[in-house]
Structure 1
Amino acid sequence: MRHVSGEPGGLRELKKRRTRTALLHSALELFTTQGFEATTIDQIAEPVEVSQRTFFRYFASKEEVAFAVPDTVESHFFDAFRARPPAEPPMTALRRAMRATWETFGESVEGVSPALHMRMYQLIESTPALLAVLMCRSAAMEERLAEEIARREGLDLDADPRPRVLVAAFTGVMRATGRIWGAGGDTSAASLRRITEEHLDRLGPALVTAWDRPEPGAGAAGAT
């Protein structure tokens, strides 16, 4: 029987991907139901029917598997941002890169649903050891984005604060809308997109125009 070149290697790679995906899903479900600290490597590996040693072939630690999805999402977002046309204004490029990331979310994160991703994000924010890591990672990502914006616009990042200001505003909105979405009843990706777009639409007016305020005493007058 003639050997088909490359088939064994292809099958091995497929099996590796499936094992990694199964370990990732097992870990995230356990983390979000019983807590990060309470979950052991053996508990993660048991449903996948692999050993602890096999787990460490795919992930260096529990922390690494906890941040596996954010790592992938951030990587796809940054690549999508770098691919945006140079003529696009920075905020437009950021928004369109985020939309592109949402559209490929399921494909890029090994079948992890947006709802599970958000549950894991909420857990990270409520776990001190993970929150410290998240803050460091977020600061590093924001600096990368600011550097990329400065490169696109031909600016000296040390002399012009606008790239860092823009990134701080954009990522601040993303964090705020993520919390609003996570606290709501609709955990669909479409709901996240809608909430985020609505808040980003308000970012400019919130920064550069006077806010409408009720006239003093208008409430009392209307009540009589």
Structure 2
Amino acid sequence: MSTAERTRTLRRRMIVAARRATVTQGLGGFTIEQLCESVGVSRRTFFNHFASKEDVVLGIELHADTELLQAFAAGDVVPSTLDPLSAIVALAVEQVRAMEFDRSEEVLVRTVLDREPALLARFLSATDVQLARVTDAVRTRFGWTAPDDARARLVSESAAALLRVTADHYFDDAFDETTSPPFDELLTTNLRLLRAAITTGQDDTP
């Protein structure tokens, strides 16, 4: 196992343990020290990966995708031939795979937010920050650096909407994983439908 894989595994262990503790005890029912003890890590190790107890519960990792976004901005990670919207969608697929986020974990997150609804504001704030970082990376990758150039934000906001619609479908309780496509295929299909809807008003793909 590589260092990066070990790091991802450790982070996942801390996140899952924190979420389970929140469901059973509430956010105020355990301390960071108790969480660290249950996972077998030091307090210092914890703060190398997360800024707070709230962030570990929400899975907001410190600098988790900094290198990925830097590489994307430099023209790497996804094929350089992709148009801006396709490039962001491909980047999102890479991020989802790195997060190893599945439907069972989404149920756990919903349970956490039901138990601690105040965490939703922190989650939405982190989402806005992440979207701004992606927008900056898009701006750099495609050279849209003029202060009044809105293209990077327009494309990244469109990709965010596409992801939300796809996630709503994928994580719906009625979604059948045994007969339905995986998340990345569903996202790619929705990208095609979006393009068709914008350009022709219908899906012309054979």
TM over 0.5: yes
Report the structure number with the largest CA radius of gyration.
1
> What residue is the counterpart of 2:30 in the other structure?
40
Letter in 1 for 2:18: A
> What aligned pairs does 1:177-192 form with structure 2 within 5 A after superposition?
177-184=166-173, 185-186=175-176, 191-192=182-183
Q: Is the 8 A contact 1:157 1:163 kept in 2?
A: no
Question: Does the 8 A contact of 1:80 with 1:97 survive in 2?
Answer: no
| Equivalenced residues, count | 188
1:100 matched residue in structure 2 = 94
Q: Indicate conservation of the 8 Å contact 1:80/1:100, yes or no.
A: no
Q: Retained in 1: the 8 A contact 2:131–2:156? A: yes
Decide which of 184, 187, 195 is 1:204's aligned counterpart. 195
Cα RMSD of the aligned pairs, angstroms, is 3.8
Gap runs ≥5 in structure 1: 1-13, 107-112, 213-224
Give the alignment partner of residue 114 of structure 1, picking from 98, 102, 111: 102
Tell me the amino acid that sits aligned with residue 139 of structure 2: A
1:76–1:122: structure 2 CA closer, same or farther, 3 Å change rule? farther
Deviation at 1:65, TM superposition (A): 1.0
2:3 corresponds in structure 1 to: none
Cα 1:24/1:140, change in 2 over 3 Å = closer
Structure 2 regions of 5+ residues with no counterpart? Answer: 1-5
**Offset of 1:140 from its aligned partner?**
1.8
Amino acid in the other structure paired with 1:160:
D
**Could you say if the C-alpha distance between residues 197 and 114 of structure 1 is closer, same or farther in structure 2, counting changes exceeding 3 Å?**
same
After superposition, what is the alpha-carbon deviation per residue over 1:124-168, rounded to whole angstroms, capped at 9, x for unaligned? Answer: 665442221222222222222222222222224532222111111
Matched residue, 2:118: 129
Aligned match for 1:78, one of 59, 69, 74: 69
The C-alpha deviation readout for 1:83-139, integer Å capped at 9, x for no partner, is 235443112221222333344444xxxxxx523442354356654422212222222
**With structure 2 as the length reference, what TM-score do the two structures score?**
0.67
Report 1 or 2 for greater relative contact order, CA contacts < 8 Å, sequence distance ≥ 6.
2
Identity of aligned pairs, percent? Answer: 20
Query: Match for residue 90 of structure 1?
Result: 84
Q: Distance in 1 between matches of 2:67 and 2:167?
A: 18
Say if 1:70 and 1:87 are closer, same or farther in 2 by CA, change over 3 A: same
Q: 1:30 is aligned with what amino acid? A: A
Q: Distance in 2 between matches of 1:124 and 1:117?
A: 11
What is the alpha-carbon distance in structure 2 between the residues aligned to residue 199 and residue 89 of structure 1? 16
Partner secondary structure for residue 86 of structure 2: helix
